[in-house]
Amino acid sequence: MNMILPYELLEIFQYQFMQHAFEAGTIVAIVAGIVGYFVVLRRSSFAAHALSHIGFAGAAGAVLFGVSPVFGLLLFTGAGGAGIAILGPKAANRDVQIGTVLAVMLGIGVLFISLYTGYATEAYSILFGEILGISLSDVLLTLAVAAVILVAIAFVYRPLLFASLDEDVAEAKGMPILGIGIIFMLLVAVATSIAVQVVGVLLIFALMVTPAAIAQRVTKKPSRGIIVSVAVALFATWLGLIISFYEPYPVSFFITSIVFILYLLVRFAYPRIRPTKTAQIQPDMH
């Protein structure tokens, strides 16, 4: 790759498809970073994983019936998310329920794909994302959906945080655990549906789980954690898009690689530079 000078970066934005990619990518990174923080805190990454695959079935169905994949995604992930939350009311130990719902939905997805007689590129773009092919209407829909998610999170923020940390106490305090669980899964479902455009069904973890996992390693305050999670998702998305403009490889590959490298750095290099426990305790001992 040749050196890219800063002013040359502006060249990227002369292309409308790159503008749309940046707009959608930015919105999705913010939403995925926030929702992802709760996914990691609640140990619900398998649920998020399952929802993205359930979304695949929905998107395949939408393509089959000739409507935009995002509607199929929203319908299937929403139904799947609510189903998982109702079948396994407690966040922990619901792997079996998730697996059950996941299997049947994937089966339906396979059926839809086999019934669809068009080009395989549709399925390919659902699986791996197609951010460079995003239209203005897609961007506007993404923006509208993201606004709904952000308002919903502002509303449920503290009950969701508390129920995620200490579900039994929250239940005893009379908080609606099942309702919070359903709202959370719906938020994941909707976030997944819009994130699929950027990284695809198979790679959704790159935006939904890894940035949040990084954030939870570097900060112990939830509010800061969410900010770090969003920052990592944004950084990876932007950098991935810039590189992909100059290199003929998929954006998804660059985004997933960037977050993975950051994760490795935080996992293995960060503990060495972070203030140690003993250093924190010592002042009290004197």
Out of 54, 62, 170, 189, name the contact with another protein by CB under 8 A.
170
- In the complex, what is the shortest distance from the CB of residue 218 to another protein, in angstroms, rounded to a whole number? 9
**Quick one: 33 or 55, whose CB is closer to another protein?**
33
b/e per residue 88-106 (b: at least 16 CB within 10 A): beebeebeebbeebbeebe
- In the complex, what is the shortest distance from the CB of residue 267 to another protein, in angstroms, rounded to a whole number? 12
- In the complex, what is the shortest distance from the CB of residue 52 to another protein, in angstroms, rounded to a whole number? 22
Q: What single letter denotes the amino acid at residue 103?
A: A
**Quick one: 33 or 58, whose CB is closer to another protein?**
33
Question: Are the C-beta atoms of 131 and 198 separated by less than 8 Å?
Answer: yes
Q: Does 270 bind another protein (CB under 8 A)?
A: no
Q: Does 161 bind another protein (CB under 8 A)?
A: yes
- In the complex, what is the shortest distance from the CB of residue 230 to another protein, in angstroms, rounded to a whole number? 17
Which residues make Cβ contacts (< 8 Å) with residue 274, sequence separation at least 6?
A: none
Q: What single letter denotes the amino acid at residue 32?
A: A
Question: Are the C-beta atoms of 188 and 52 separated by less than 8 Å?
Answer: no
Q: Does 166 bind another protein (CB under 8 A)?
A: yes
**Quick one: 132 or 152, whose CB is closer to another protein?**
152
Nearest to 157 by CA among 138, 135, 133, 184: 184
Residues 4-43 that bind another protein (CB under 8 A): 41, 43
Q: Does 221 bind another protein (CB under 8 A)?
A: yes
- In the complex, what is the shortest distance from the CB of residue 161 to another protein, in angstroms, rounded to a whole number? 6
Q: Does 240 bind another protein (CB under 8 A)?
A: no
Q: Contact region for another protein (CB under 8 A) — 47-55, 134-142, 161-169, 243-251? A: 161-169
Q: Does 95 bind another protein (CB under 8 A)?
A: no
Cα(208)–Cα(30) distance, integer angstroms: 10
Binding to another protein by CB under 8 A, coded x per residue (else -) over 70-89, reads: --------------------
Q: Contact region for another protein (CB under 8 A) — 94-102, 165-173, 192-200, 241-249? A: 165-173
Q: Contact region for another protein (CB under 8 A) — 102-110, 116-124, 150-158, 233-241? A: 150-158
Residues 187-216 that bind another protein (CB under 8 A): 216
Out of 156, 231, 239, 262, name the contact with another protein by CB under 8 A.
156
Contact residues toward another protein (CB under 8 A) are 41, 43, 91-92, 154-156, 158-159, 161-175, 216-217, 219-222, 277, 280, 284
